Amino acid sequence: MTSREVEIAIVGAGIVGIAVAYHLVRRHGRRSLAILDPEPPMSLTSAVSGENYRNWWPHPVMTAFTDHSIDLMEAIARDTGNRLHMTRRGYALATRRRHIEPLLRQLRRGYGDAGEQGIRVHEKGSAGGYIPATGESWDEAPDGVDVICERELIARAFPGFDPEVSTVVHVRRAGDISGQQLGLHMLEQVRAAGGSLLPARLTGVDRDGPFRLAAEGREGPERIRAEVLVNAAGPHVAAVAALLGETLPVTTVAQQKIAFEDGLGAIPRSLPFAIDLDEQLLDWTEEEAALLAQDQATDWLTRAMPGGVHCRPDGGAQGRWIKLGWAFNRVPGKVEEQPPLIPHFPEIVLRGASRLNPGLEAYLGKLPRRLSHYGGYYTMTAENWPLIGPLGTQGAFVAGALSGFGTMAACAAGALCSDWIVGGELPDFARPLSLSRYADAGLMAELGAMQDTGVL
């Protein structure tokens, strides 16, 4: 049996756990810390991240939180010669709805009073001023949001879109990064400062006084004594909390994506991360729809599907691959070592994405053999806000429930959790993103009334 003593033990070597350690050593000079995980760093959910980022959210608290995370990522990009391959073509949210006042209200609400002046509406006959996303550079891209309501302008700026699209909301502070490079950079800094990575699975916690952790390592049992325990266990965040006798208000939902080489050039390499906001019925033939409807396991595919199917080029302007995703699953399940995959998901997401990008129809029934079909977990609260801050147990903290936005929010989550740990100055969004929000009846009523929680 191996025994060791550290000041801070962090459970979970995903990008969020690594970010907590990074900010502890960089911002607060802590050196005595260990990250526990039985799997290699940045595996499981972090390994299958969409690697996108945006500051577009239905509520200003989440907007401020992700804006801060983007600030921190840009600082790393600047300091490392853009090691994380940060680009900023934006998010293009498309809809065929003509009445867009509800969408504008949501934008104004999400960006708050300070950001409203950055919302630019381009209508037929307006003065113009829209700047297309022709380049990848994150430090030269415009800020704010362009709401394009003129079909001719949409056709010029997004020539591959369905011609029925009548509005495109182009969120400009958005793009993609290499999550693996970001995580690797932060982990290197942690190790250089004296932090360690312990390949072990946490199996028990003694809460009497300093934490005494029982873990199973590669060479047998491990015992770790720590003054502070951080639960950054990703999909296992509820299970780790249970070892402390605590219950977290989270569920875990499996989601999937595909990636393949776009040999036919169906998607322009300059296309921003494109999202179809509209519900849709998948375009099956009558025979296909009849067969699907006969089986209870597949009849759901003949009914209306939620909006949110998305597509983006992968690998930059010189790349050839594209990614498609659709977080339509809403059914919580247990966490498995390998997330369950729907065998026909590639066909589902391709049909869904083809509605916004008709050029993808060329792949119907003949997807390339070089196709990657993979899945991960969205561990989330009902309101889709993270949990960052103190747990009920003295000396224990959580950084979790970052469903589908862990890569983009990791830097801010790590900085915020580290500030909670050391008793540092907290930003305005800190308490709403902690467990203390559930004692705020007004805030919870507000969040409960919101129809959109920002799930993508």
Range of the domain at 41: 2-51+179-250+382-449
User: Is residue 19 in a domain?
Assistant: yes
The more confident residue out of 229 and 340 is: 229
Query: Within this chain, do residues 111 and 162 fall inside the same structural domain, yes or no?
Result: yes
Residue 250, token pair as written in the block? 């989270």
By residue count, the chain amounts to 456
Report, as an integer, the average pLDDT of 50-59: 94
Query: Within this chain, do residues 162 and 194 fall inside the same structural domain, yes or no?
Result: no
- Among 362, 379, 396, identify where a domain stops: 379
Residue 215, phi then psi, degrees to nearest 5: -140, 155
User: Is residue 66 in a domain?
Assistant: no
User: Is residue 387 in a domain?
Assistant: yes
Query: Within this chain, do residues 193 and 285 fall inside the same structural domain, yes or no?
Result: no
DSSP-derived pairing of the beta strands 145-148 and 167-171: antiparallel
Residue 255, token pair as written in the block? 């989601």
Report, as an integer, the average pLDDT of 379-385: 97
Sign of the torsion angle spanned by Cα atoms 232, 236, 238, 242: negative
Q: How many CB atoms lie within 10 A of CB 431?
A: 16
pLDDT digits (tens, 9 = 90+) for 336-372: 888 889 999 999 999 999 999 999 999 999 999 999 9
Residue 359: half-sphere exposure toward Cβ, Cα within 13 Å: 15
What pLDDT shows up at residue 127? 63
User: Is residue 15 in a domain?
Assistant: yes
Query: Within this chain, do residues 140 and 287 fall inside the same structural domain, yes or no?
Result: yes
Pairwise CA distance, residues 44 & 376, whole Å: 7
Query: Within this chain, do residues 358 and 425 fall inside the same structural domain, yes or no?
Result: no
Identify the H or E element spanning 155. Answer: helix 151-157
Q: Render the burial of 159-192: b for 16+ CB within 10 Å, e for the rest.
A: ebbbeebbbbbbbbbbbbbbbbbbbbbbbebbee
Query: Within this chain, do residues 267 and 373 fall inside the same structural domain, yes or no?
Result: yes
What pLDDT shows up at residue 1? 74
- Could you give the number of structural domains in the chain? 2
User: Is residue 389 in a domain?
Assistant: yes
User: Is residue 60 in a domain?
Assistant: no
146: three-class secondary structure by DSSP: strand
Residue 296, phi then psi, degrees to nearest 5: -60, -25
User: Is residue 83 in a domain?
Assistant: no
Mean predicted lDDT score pLDDT of the chain: 94
User: Is residue 12 predicted with pLDDT exceeding 80?
Assistant: yes
User: Is residue 63 in a domain?
Assistant: no
Q: Is 222 exposed, middle or buried (0-12, 13-18, 19+ CB in 10 A)?
A: buried
Report, as an integer, the average pLDDT of 7-25: 98
Query: Within this chain, do residues 225 and 245 fall inside the same structural domain, yes or no?
Result: yes
Our measurement of the distance from residue 94's CA atom to the centroid of its chain's CA atoms, rounded to an integer in Å, reads 20
Widest CA span in the chain: 75
Angle at 363 between CA 360 and CA 364, to 5 degrees: 100
Q: At what angle do helices 60-79 and 101-115 cross, to 10 degrees?
A: 60
The more confident residue out of 99 and 28 is: 28
Query: Within this chain, do residues 171 and 184 fall inside the same structural domain, yes or no?
Result: no
Query: Within this chain, do residues 299 and 259 fall inside the same structural domain, yes or no?
Result: yes
Q: What is the CATH number of the domain that holds 95?
A: 3.30.9.10
Query: Within this chain, do residues 160 and 267 fall inside the same structural domain, yes or no?
Result: yes
Query: Within this chain, do residues 214 and 335 fall inside the same structural domain, yes or no?
Result: no
Pairwise CA distance, residues 88 & 84, whole Å: 12
The more confident residue out of 399 and 403 is: 399
- Among 322, 349, 379, identify where a domain stops: 379
- pTM of this prediction? 0.96
- Among 322, 352, 379, identify where a domain stops: 379
Query: Within this chain, do residues 323 and 438 fall inside the same structural domain, yes or no?
Result: no
Residue 77, token pair as written in the block? 């990009």
